[in-house]
Amino acid sequence: MKKKPNLSKAAPWLSAIGLFVLWELIVRIFNIPPYVLPTPSESIIVGWQFHEAIWMHAVHTLYTTLAGFAIAVVFGVILGALVGSSRAIYDAANPLLVGFNSVPKVALVPVLVMWFGIGTVPAIITAFLISFFPIVVNVATGLATLEPELRDVLRSLGATRTDILVKVGFPRAMPYFFASLKVAITLAFVGSVISETVASNVGVGYLMLSASSKFNMPLVFAGLLVIAVMGIAMYEIFNVIERRSTKWANRGNQTT
Amino acid sequence: MKKKPNLSKAAPWLSAIGLFVLWELIVRIFNIPPYVLPTPSESIIVGWQFHEAIWMHAVHTLYTTLAGFAIAVVFGVILGALVGSSRAIYDAANPLLVGFNSVPKVALVPVLVMWFGIGTVPAIITAFLISFFPIVVNVATGLATLEPELRDVLRSLGATRTDILVKVGFPRAMPYFFASLKVAITLAFVGSVISETVASNVGVGYLMLSASSKFNMPLVFAGLLVIAVMGIAMYEIFNVIERRSTKWANRGNQTT
Amino acid sequence: QMAIKFSLDWKFEGPAAPYLLAKKNGYFDEEGLDVTIDSGNGSVGAITRVASGAYDVSLADINSLVEFNASNPDRAMKSIFMVYDRPPFSLFMLKKSGITKPEDLVGKTLGAPVFDASRKLYPAFASATGLKLDDVTWESMDPPLREPMLVRGDVDAISGHYFTSILNLQAQGVTKDDLTVFQYKDFGMDFYGNGLLASPDMMENHAEELRGFLRGVVKGWRAAIADPASAIEALKEVDPLIDPALELQRLQMAIDENVVTPDTLENGMGLVKTDRMAKAIDQVALAFGFENKPTVGDVFTDIFMPGAEDRKIK
Amino acid sequence: MSKSFVELNNVRLRYSEGDDLALETTNMKIGKGEFIAVVGPSGCGKSSLLKLVSGLMPPSEGTVIVDNKEVAGPLKIVGMAFQNPTLLPWRTTLDNVLLPMEIVKPHRNRLRKNRAEYEERARKLLASVGLEGHEDKYPWELSGGMQQRASLCRSLIHEPDLLMLDEPFGALDAFTREELWDILQNLWMVRPFTVILVTHDLREAAYLADTIYVMSKRPGKILVERENPLPRPRDQEATFTQPFTDLVHELRSHIRDVRES
Amino acid sequence: MSKSFVELNNVRLRYSEGDDLALETTNMKIGKGEFIAVVGPSGCGKSSLLKLVSGLMPPSEGTVIVDNKEVAGPLKIVGMAFQNPTLLPWRTTLDNVLLPMEIVKPHRNRLRKNRAEYEERARKLLASVGLEGHEDKYPWELSGGMQQRASLCRSLIHEPDLLMLDEPFGALDAFTREELWDILQNLWMVRPFTVILVTHDLREAAYLADTIYVMSKRPGKILVERENPLPRPRDQEATFTQPFTDLVHELRSHIRDVRES
Ligand SMILES: Nc1ncnc2c1ncn2[C@@H]1O[C@H](COP(=O)(O)OP(=O)(O)OP(=O)(O)O)[C@@H](O)[C@H]1O
Ligand SMILES: Nc1ncnc2c1ncn2[C@@H]1O[C@H](COP(=O)(O)OP(=O)(O)OP(=O)(O)O)[C@@H](O)[C@H]1O
Ligand SMILES: Cc1ncc(C[n+]2csc(CCO)c2C)c(N)n1
Ligand SMILES: [Mg+2]
Ligand SMILES: [Mg+2]
């Protein structure tokens, strides 16, 4: 069962390296020019060359992303709890939420810029706006699919709605919640980066736009790689938290 | 329990109208200029004025979105099944998926244009790329949190891995799957629309970009409203399918 | 009939109408060409679209092409036809800001997208007017944000194409009289502007078709100059959402300021003057900061140029 | 013993409109502190009856009255052991047993301060049903019978006024079962709460209950109400006495009649 | 009856490293077509034993051999009724019972063609346990005992060579239970498959089994192996005979010893 833990640890690295090698080979074999698709090696070299600037931009993007994401988690859980535990709120809020979410947030950035000026605030808000929806949906689904047997345990004790939510709703919805966090954090990155491309003088989004205007596609892809790495890092953090807090739901994996 | 079905039916309309009224009032009271935020009434009037053009663009966007979404569902379910049922694949694929998803897809559109020209194909691909991830995550989570007791029922019959997947994995993961479809369809709209803004002569995204470069913000918002409405329509379709196919998971809602 | 994919530099706006008119009037058909015209996303995209072979021909800023060649020397491309003899690069200020001459820009904030041609060439403008690069700070923003930000006073000045920003500002209720405009061409900066590029494959294998294409383009411009309204009609057919009056104005401005110039009246459309181009390259090299400057022959070729008669404007 | 702490008046239940009845017209009166047992064939509506009394479900017709108030929603004075253990899988056994303390007043307000004391109480209770040493295991690490015992503890910990037990000893061997009978009887003798016990074991009913109700086949209704003549406290010896075996035999024949009807 | 269709050699089990043993060194030999019963106190490892034999879990030490092959993964010849009914909530009762037909060869290949015939068989089986009319209900619309009966049907429908029953009659009243004893005995007499029955009901063990194993307290091991001298077929009359009551009493005293050890 606990076979080959080393392979398991190495797997992500192997697959990442595999992808890079494949990508490098494709670009070289088909002789794809760098302004269409640079090789990963070029991107990494150029990225290293500019590593100080990238670092500064990346820190900024990380900050805006996390700020927006944090708001999204709080807001998403509250709204998800409301939507998931009351039919009326579900009926009223859902179409609006869905409609809002079908809209590309990039179209709203100009409006935000008009109100909050260029830079950090619109990026945080965009990250928030783009990432709260999956949390709402999953938390609501987790609550709505709560087994009635478990709910009855609480109800038979005369528990209030809040009690039920806190004692069985949320714990039961945890796997759903974590699944949505993984989606949401990646979206939050997308949100802050696109906001930076629309109006900012700092952040990876700005860096990428600026690089692309100078035909420096390797630097654009270096920016993409940096975002990807930050996304993975955040994801892994949630993964660790998830494994600790939803052991019970994943108990079946011991035997596979 | 089955009280006030009429209220329930009216709720989405009431909330939508409420939002519009609020929006209209805010814009009027704070005297916000239309190039920052138009009123919904302006948007609807302008939208009606251009309804033929909008219809044509909307149909195109709907088509690309659904095409991309369909690919995303097939791909997402397959990948989710792989990731959710094998630790090794999970380890190998997850970081790549997450990294890929943290990247704004809009940055990849120019690359797609190099290969496929502008127009429909990049839009379909973008819609696909942006929307498959939530499906993968939720299907994988649904499978990974399968109760071992249910799995053992199948295992005790000597079922193959595929049997287990098909007979208990998928049915059990259905609520997760539908939750992800709701997120994914909205993202698919976002994907096709942003691709259209970058590289297309047709579609709501092109319409909005074109309108915004002409400072016709009411038309931009008319475009946003059209996307929102299409998103809601798609969502409702999945909702109906969901209610039929996951009655068992929502059985608890009868009593609330 | 040969199929040609043609990418514009920008969306379907007034200055794009002549090409659409050419197509509508069958000028390309006459040359045996089946031309598809797609909207563009800025010069950067237009250049890479052709460089990658996704498009056969595109319209793009020649200064950006110089920059592209500098970073991709082994894939250098050449412009084959100049459209904007005098480019629309400009800075815009509100009169009430009190800025009347370039020196007044010191300490001010300028807004524009990073990829805006006028912003990219600002170092050349600065050196031509004796400013230092860090005399101004730039705020980066999406194109449609520029004019509102200027009007609201979030920035003191913006850069942009003359015919784009002046009309956008008009739409915000700002008339020409409220504005101070520095057009680069009025400050001794004799650049060229947007021209047509062709893919390496086209240049190598389809010289005749290219020549035919260019003939069609000139015919389109000639027809548009003679009757701009008909060009706007052709535009409206492609994009029904445009405001015809506005685009007509934009087209007229492009014709008057950028296309119909003393040089083109004399020599017809398309050509560049070697000494003027060489000077422009010097300034571009300065602006973009690269050492090994290309020669004129490296960025422009007239081998596909139609005969002088075929290039006459009027 | 004032009759009618719990009162069912012409109660009928169907799970959804158009369905058959799950419970036929039922009338019951249970006194405060009375220990009753309900027996009847599988599917006759015993679990449904408990859900009605505890307010988890509203009756389709008729009224349920507990403590002189008509039941309109879940009651706050109930301890319930469901037919399935339904332990919360994300809580350890101990935390599962402590759950009522986090919900029911006045304990919920005291719990944080007196955590140690409450835990002690839960541990003692768990030990009394033979689960010492398993307090920190998760429910899915317990055997079926162990889960059932934990669930029983959960229903008892907060000393409810009305205890509902739905086959609480079904998964236990005879000896453990009989040991738990005594424990339950002792608790009840010390502080006579009202108990409704659903069981299939007629000896269990005869050993524990003051009154035994026999229900008919689906849709269930109460056919026989039998007072238990045996004196308290009862012990294992009592099960070998003639009145006990007679009672069991009588119940047995009732059930046979019911099944054959 | 060739001894050793199922064979356990020095099997021990612990659920995870560092845990206490769940099953102490166990040796067993079960002949083909033999009907055995396992009794023992709650938590002693009976369910675990079934999981070992069916290949759902590997032993920590020792080997399990079924049909002359060492068990390395889940077997394909098993029918199993778990301690909890574990019906799939998204399937109707009928579809739950038909589940093995969709999995087990050769039925899975025939099912589509002969659907009607297989459904007929499932309906008959359901009717025989008293569930006629409930075929199209979902599991959560059934009472606890009804679920258990449906689960029993699911374990029988594909006529497995090795049947594992984990307290299959625990939630049933005495009469339904005894009826099902006879049904099971009849099936077994017609086609003698191998049965391992876990139960708490000593009468049940004595009524059904050829051999009865008594297990010790946690960690369980087999203390007594008792051949059942009663002739087949057995009927309700037999339960009133002296040999039967003697056997039950003997088992009872074994268990008492076990618990007090
Ligand atoms: N998944 C598990 N993880 C860890 N320990 C377990 C697990 N399942 C069972 N155990 C432990 O193994 C021991 C034997 O459990 P098992 O379920 O086999 O008992 P049992 O004889 O079937 O009891 P019962 O009669 O109560 O059903 C118990 O002490 C239990 O705590
Ligand atoms: N959630 C439900 N939806 C629909 N019908 C139900 C539901 N729960 C129970 N029933 C039906 O109500 C009847 C009574 O069920 P109940 O669970 O009360 O029986 P029971 O007497 O407890 O049986 P058992 O002894 O088998 O546990 C059964 O016929 C069952 O089919
Ligand atoms: C942000 C920004 N992007 C692109 C252009 C280029 N552009 C705008 S209009 C025009 C000419 C149309 O024929 C061109 C090339 C710009 N000025 N600003
Ligand atoms: Mg019941
Ligand atoms: Mg067990």
**For B171, which of E86, E90, E140 is closest by C-beta distance?**
E90
- Per-residue confidence band for A141, with pLDDT thresholds at 50, 70 and 90: confident
| pLDDT number for residue E3 | 60
Residue-wise DSSP of E29-97 = EE-TT-EEEEE--TTSSHHHHHHHHHTSS--SEEEEEETTEE--S--SSEEEE-SS----TTS-HHHHH
Q: Burial letters for E156-187: b for 16+ Cβ neighbours within 10 Å, e otherwise?
A: bbbebbbbbbbbbbbbbbbbbbbbbbeebbeb
Amino acid letter for position E200 = H
Give the start-to-end residue ranges of the domains of chain A.
51-246
The verdict on domain B51-246 having CATH code 1.10.3720.10 is: yes
Q: Is E142 in the pocket of ligand 2 (CB under 6 A)?
A: yes
- For residue D214, list its beta bridge partners: D39, D224
| pLDDT number for residue E52 | 93
For residue B138, give the nearest of A138, E168, D227 by alpha carbon. A138
Q: Which residue of D has its CA nearest to E178?
A: D256
Those residues whose C-beta lies under 8 Å from the C-beta of residue A68, and which sit 6 or more positions away, are A123, A124, A125, A126, A127, A128, A129, A131, A188, A191, A192
Q: Which residue of B has its CA nearest to D17?
A: B2
Q: Are the Cβ atoms of D174 and E42 closer than 8 angstroms?
A: no
Is the confidence at residue E218, as pLDDT, over 70? yes
**How much is the mean pLDDT over chain D?**
90
| pLDDT number for residue C53 | 86
Is the confidence at residue B249, as pLDDT, over 80? no
- Per-residue confidence band for A3, with pLDDT thresholds at 50, 70 and 90: very low
| Two tokens, residue C311 | 């290039």
For residue A200, give the nearest of A102, A56, A75 by alpha carbon. A56
Q: From the CA of D74, how many Å to the nearest CA of chain A? A: 5
3-state secondary structure of D254: helix
Least confident interval from B41-50, B79-88, B124-133: B79-88
| pLDDT number for residue E1 | 43
Tens digits of residue pLDDT in D135-160: 999 999 999 999 999 999 999 999 99
Q: With an 8 Å Cβ cutoff, is E104 touching chain B?
A: yes
ipTM for the complex shown: 0.88
Q: Are the Cβ atoms of A92 and B197 closer than 8 angstroms?
A: no
Least confident interval from A235-244, C232-241, D135-144: A235-244
Q: Is D15 in the pocket of ligand 2 (CB under 6 A)?
A: yes
Give the ligand whose atoms come closest to the C-alpha of residue A209: 3
Question: Nearest residue CA, atom 3 of ligand 2?
Answer: E141
CA–CA distance from C258 to each of C67, C251, C261 (Å)?
22, 10, 7
| pLDDT number for residue A8 | 65
DSSP at C269: S
Q: Are C55 and C268 in contact (CB under 8 A)?
A: no
Tens digits of residue pLDDT in E176-194: 888 899 999 999 999 989 9
Q: Hey, which of D87, D132, D146 would you mutate to test ligand 1's pocket, going by the most ligand atoms within 8 Å of its Cβ?
A: D146
- Superfamily of the domain at D1-77+164-171+198-250: P-loop containing nucleotide triphosphate hydrolases (3.40.50.300)
| pLDDT number for residue B7 | 62
Q: Are the Cβ atoms of A141 and B175 closer than 8 angstroms?
A: yes
pTM of the model: 0.89
Is the confidence at residue B3, as pLDDT, over 50? no
Least confident interval from C148-157, C201-210, C280-289: C280-289
Q: What is the mean pLDDT of residues A241-255?
A: 69
Q: Are A4 and A183 in contact (CB under 8 A)?
A: no
Q: What is the mean pLDDT of residues E124-146?
A: 92
| H or E element at residue E54 | helix E46-54
| pLDDT number for residue A95 | 85
Q: What is the mean pLDDT of residues C12-23?
A: 95
- Distance between CA D198 and CA D186 in Å, rounded? 19
Q: Is D136 in the pocket of ligand 1 (CB under 6 A)?
A: no
Residues of C with CB under 8 A from a CB of B: 5, 7, 11-13, 38-39, 41, 45, 48-49, 52, 54-55, 143-144, 147-148, 168, 171-172, 238-243, 246
| pLDDT number for residue B251 | 67
Is the confidence at residue C307, as pLDDT, over 60? yes
Alpha helices in A199-216 (DSSP H): 204-213
Distance E25 CA to ligand 5 centre (A): 18
Q: Do chains D and C touch (3 or more CB pairs under 8 A)?
A: no
| pLDDT number for residue A254 | 46
Q: With an 8 Å Cβ cutoff, is A174 touching chain D?
A: yes
Q: Is D26 in the pocket of ligand 2 (CB under 6 A)?
A: no
Tens digits of residue pLDDT in D192-228: 899 999 999 899 999 999 999 999 887 888 988 999 9
CA dihedral of A49, A52, A56, A62, whole degrees rounded to 10 = 60
Residues 54-73 on E with a CB inside 8 Å of D are none
Least confident interval from C40-49, D27-36, D60-69, D122-131: C40-49
CA–CA distance from C279 to each of C64, C82, C127, C265, C274 (Å)?
15, 16, 14, 22, 9
Cβ-Cβ contacts under 8 Å, B38 against chain C = none
Q: With an 8 Å Cβ cutoff, is A256 touching chain E?
A: no
- Beta pairing class for E6-13 and E61-66: antiparallel
| Two tokens, residue C42 | 């800025």
Q: With an 8 Å Cβ cutoff, is D99 touching chain B?
A: no
CA dihedral of E232, E233, E239, E245, whole degrees rounded to 10 = 10
Give the ligand whose atoms come closest to the C-alpha of residue B209: 3
| pLDDT number for residue B252 | 61
Q: How far is CA E197 from the centre of its chain?
A: 4
Least confident interval from A73-87, B30-44, E138-152: B30-44
Q: What is the mean pLDDT of residues B101-108?
A: 89
- Per-residue confidence band for D174, with pLDDT thresholds at 50, 70 and 90: confident
**For E171, which of D42, D48, D145 is closest by C-beta distance?**
D42
- Per-residue confidence band for A1, with pLDDT thresholds at 50, 70 and 90: very low
Tens digits of residue pLDDT in A30-79: 888 888 889 999 999 999 999 999 999 999 999 999 999 999 999 999 99
Q: From the CA of B36, how many Å to the nearest CA of chain C? A: 8
Tens digits of residue pLDDT in D31-85: 999 999 999 888 889 999 999 999 999 999 999 999 999 999 899 899 999 999 8
Tens digits of residue pLDDT in B46-100: 999 989 889 999 999 999 999 999 999 999 999 999 988 888 888 888 888 889 9
Q: With an 8 Å Cβ cutoff, is B255 touching chain D?
A: yes
- Beta pairing class for C2-7 and C33-38: parallel
- Distance between CA C213 and CA C196 in Å, rounded? 10
**Surface-to-core class of residue C295, CB atoms within 10 Å of its CB (0-12 exposed, 13-18 middle, 19+ buried):** exposed
Tens digits of residue pLDDT in E35-92: 999 998 888 899 999 999 999 999 999 999 999 999 998 998 899 999 998 999 999 9
| pLDDT number for residue D63 | 93
| Two tokens, residue C266 | 């004399």
Q: From the CA of E15, how many Å to the nearest CA of chain D? A: 9
| pLDDT number for residue C101 | 92
- Distance between CA A58 and CA A206 in Å, rounded? 10
Residues 166-185 on B with a CB inside 8 Å of A are 175-176, 178-179, 182-183, 185
